[in-house]
Amino acid sequence: MSQQKIIDCLACGMSVSFGVVNCPKCDNRLDLQHDGSTVTIDIAHNRETVRDALLKLQRNMKAARETNAQNLRVIVGSGRIREEVLGLLYDLRSRETIIDFNQDENPGAVTIKLKP
């Protein structure tokens, strides 16, 4: 038996199944709602290969979109993983899959804006 994920509309508080685009009560777009928070993950310091790191990034981007978080802060290190992640993010931004991204003051971290 599968369990449906339930989310709450941040505008009116109605609980709805994840995947519903507009809140049935107030008609707000649920996939664009956020509370301004940032989720932080590390994809470079647990012996990840570049491929593993990119897969981990994509899984976490999907998971973060299913929360109320607006941003995903990714610890990428300073080597090949960082370079590959930046290349992927430039591509995702040009395809409008993400809103934007920027490098932190710490050059080993990148913040991805997932929701407007």
**CATH number of the domain that 104 lies in?**
3.30.1370.110
CB 70 within 8 A of CB 34: yes
Residues spanned by the domain of 42? 34-113
Better-predicted residue by pLDDT, 79 or 18? 79
User: Which pLDDT belongs to residue 56?
Assistant: 97
Reported as a single tens digit per residue, the pLDDT across 51-92 is: 999 999 999 999 999 889 999 999 999 999 999 999 999 999
- The predicted structure's pLDDT at residue 2: 56
- Is there a single domain that holds both residue 47 and residue 92? yes
pTM for the model = 0.87
- pLDDT score for 6: 86
**Quick one: 101 and 46 in the same domain?**
yes
Rg of the chain (C-alpha set): 16
pLDDT digits (tens, 9 = 90+) for 25-57: 999 999 899 999 999 999 999 999 999 999 999
Q: From 108, 93, 101, select the one nearest 42 (Cα to Cα).
A: 108
